[in-house]
């Protein structure tokens, strides 16, 4: 019998894809400027790590070539790559010889207000918490339901992002961003050992800070660490750095370390 979509017969194609059925796959969201995919090496490195940990046989060299060709055609915007384990029969067991499916989707670049980067943003205190799962921690896998629920908690334009905590109350990341604190001149970011996504901009900023002599540390942070920080900012491969000016009752100004890193990132991404 033929499958249906929205009450109508479905042409053969994606209906048995394990990415659609189970979230069995990975994705990357790559900024494209002047026909060039930004930070592609870092995106591919994270993708290779995800393929290894999920035991998906992604051909990274092939993906590199396809993304570059797609970016040339796209010109400006965002290239979203979805890599799934491909088709499977009913049930959770992975196919013995999966045929990995590669899907590239293009969209315009997000039009974020410039004041987010210059003046900073207010951060919404999400009640949805991130589950602890070390096997998936750091990966950009297809199951984003925690982020969907968290983003659905607010609709006011007062907040540009939301903060997500681990089950034990540790601050981990934004809904679509990574989190950094500055304390006594040291750059700190939460460890992602049991939850969270290891963003490519996060990795780039850690490398830049180390090269510029800014002491950095990846560690378990508490909510008190966040509230007592001298500077707070978020980062993402699409927008770079957004300073945080308010979270709950805490307020911050845009500090010198944040501004210095913004300048360094802007030079690289020009």
Helix (H, G, I), strand (E, B) or coil at 126: coil
Helix (H, G, I), strand (E, B) or coil at 109: coil
Mind telling me the catalytic residues? 29, 140, 173
Burial class (CB in 10 A: 0-12, 13-18, 19+), 216: middle
**93-125 burial string, b = 16+ CB within 10 Å, else e?**
ebeeebebbbebeeeeeeeeeeebbeebbbbbe
What letter does residue 97 receive in the DSSP assignment?
S
Estimate to the nearest angstrom the gap between the alpha carbon of 136 and the chain centroid: 14
Sheet holding 77-84, edge to edge: 36-37, 25-33, 77-84, 101-107
What does the chain come to in residues?
Answer: 270
Alpha carbons 165 and 172: distance in angstroms, whole number: 5
Alpha carbons 171 and 193: distance in angstroms, whole number: 13
Point out which residues pair with 30 in neighbouring strands: 79
């Amino acid at each position: 019998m033929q499958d249906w979509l929205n009450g109508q017969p479905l042409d053969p194609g994606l209906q048995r894809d394990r990415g659609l059925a189970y979230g069995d796959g990975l994705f990357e969201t790559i900024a494209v400027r002047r026909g060039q995919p930004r930070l592609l090496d870092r995106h591919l490195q994270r993708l290779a790590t995800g393929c290894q940990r999920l035991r998906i046989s992604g051909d990274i060299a092939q993906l590199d070539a396809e993304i570059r060709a797609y970016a040339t055609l796209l010109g400006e915007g965002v290239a979203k790559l979805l890599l799934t384990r491909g088709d499977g029969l009913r049930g959770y067991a992975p196919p013995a010889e999966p045929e990995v499916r590669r899907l590239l989707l293009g969209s315009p670049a997000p039009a974020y207000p410039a004041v987010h980067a210059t003046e900073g943003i207010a951060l919404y205190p999400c009640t949805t918490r991130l589950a602890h799962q070390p096997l998936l921690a750091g990966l950009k896998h297809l199951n984003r339901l925690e982020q969907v629920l968290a983003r659905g908690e607010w609709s006011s334009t007062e907040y540009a992002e939301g903060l997500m905590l681990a089950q034990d109350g540790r601050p981990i990341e934004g809904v679509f961003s990574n989190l950094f604190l500055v304390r006594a001149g040291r750059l700190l970011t939460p460890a992602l050992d049991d939850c969270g996504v290891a963003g490519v901009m996060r990795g780039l900023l850690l490398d830049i800070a180390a090269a510029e002599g800014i002491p950095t540390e990846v560690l378990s942070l508490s909510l008190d660490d966040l509230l007592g920080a001298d500077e707070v900012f978020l980062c993402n491969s699409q927008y770079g750095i957004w300073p945080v000016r308010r979270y709950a009752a805490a307020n911050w100004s845009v500090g010198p370390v944040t501004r210095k890193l913004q300048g360094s990132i802007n030079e690289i991404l020009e």
